[in-house]
Structure formats: structure tokens, C-alpha cells
Amino acid sequence: MGEIFDATPPERISKVFLEEKLFKTWYYGRTVLIGDACHKMLPAAGVGAVNAMQDVVVLANCLYSMNSSTQEDITALFQEYYKQRFHRAANEIERSKAMAKMIAGQTWLERVVRHVLLNYLPNWLQQQISTKNFEYRPQIAWLPLVPHRGLGRVLPQEGPRRPRPGFHLPQQSIAQTV
């Protein structure tokens, strides 16, 4: 790392002020935040970009369902976006924090936990944890749902699902919510 630092021109170096941060305010007026701008998480769980993309899908769905471009309707759509996303991002921040401790924690307890989890956690339990972590999969409201080919549960899609005018969702896609 030292060699990389030495080889980096000073003008290309920037300081990261916050390693993680969950902001409570995500919108104001006609401005709305997505991704790290509103919920920056430690990279240990590898889900920061995943959550940014989930924000975008949910925000696009809310925009699609908007009745008019009045400030009232814009605020209502931002509220719906926030309602669907805030608690999930908050959970993911906590999960990332726990993963960071598990991977890199230096207290004796964290070392013991790391040793036990990495050496003795059975595969079936690892799979169950992964399945639980990946059951939330927001999808675009006006496109057919991606066929569910796995074994794990998929949470129902939130918000209305409505095809684009002249574009019909196959019936089984609309029904396929679990």
C-alpha cells in the first residue's frame, strides 16, 4: 500500500471524511438523494452499490406511478420512495458494520467470533443466511418480473405493478410475487 501511496500524484488523493453515514433527510423540494449520498455503508458486506441500484429501481417505480408533476405529487412520491428504502438501507448499514467487525475486528472477542464463523459455520446455515439477505429484490414495475429459478424466498414487490400502455405483462409475472 505504501508504494501505491508514494506513486499517487498528490492532486489525485482525496480524503474520505465519512466511512459510513445514514442521513435521515433524503429529499427536499424537487431534489432527492440515492446511493452513498444518503446511506454510505462499510464495504465489508459488498452491498453499497447494490443498495444504490435498489434505490434507483424503487425511485423509478415511484416516478412512474406519479399522477402529475405538482409539488404535492412529487413530495408524495419521495415519501413513498423513502418509506420503501430507508429502513432497508438502515438494516444494511448495521449488517455491513457487523460484517466489518467479523472480517477485520481486532478485539479478542472479534477474533474468536471470526475463527468460529469462518471455520465451523455449516454450509446449510451460510446458505440460509445468504437466502435471507437476498430475498429483497425490487424490480421495475412496468416490466415482466424476472423468472424465479432459485429455491429461496423472494419478498413480494412493493407498490403497484402496471405495464406501460400497449405493453402487457404476462399474467404469471403479475401473480408471481413470492
Q: Which residues bind ligand FAD (CB under 6 A)?
A: 35-37, 43, 46-50, 52
140 and 57 Cβ atoms separated by less than 8 Å? yes
Nearest distance from residue 103's CB to ligand FAD, in Å? 12
CB closer to ligand FAD out of 36 and 110: 36
35 or 144, CB closer to ligand FAD? 35
Distance between CA atoms of residues 163 and 165, nearest Å: 6
Q: Which is nearer to ligand FAD, 54 or 161 (CB)?
A: 54
Q: Closer to ligand FAD at the Cβ: 98 or 174?
A: 98
Q: Which is nearer to ligand FAD, 21 or 115 (CB)?
A: 21
Check if the beta carbon of residue 52 is closer than 8 Å to that of residue 36: yes
Please give the Cα distance from 155 to 74 (Å, whole number). Answer: 27
Cell of 160: 403497484
| Cβ pair 89, 22 in contact under 8 A | yes
Q: How far is the CB of 53 from ligand FAD (least distance, A)?
A: 8
| In the complex, least distance from residue 154 CB atom to ligand FAD, rounded to whole angstroms | 19
In whole angstroms, the minimum distance from the beta carbon of 38 to ligand FAD comes to 8
Beta-ladder partners of 32: 27
Rounded least distance, CB 82 to ligand FAD, Å: 16
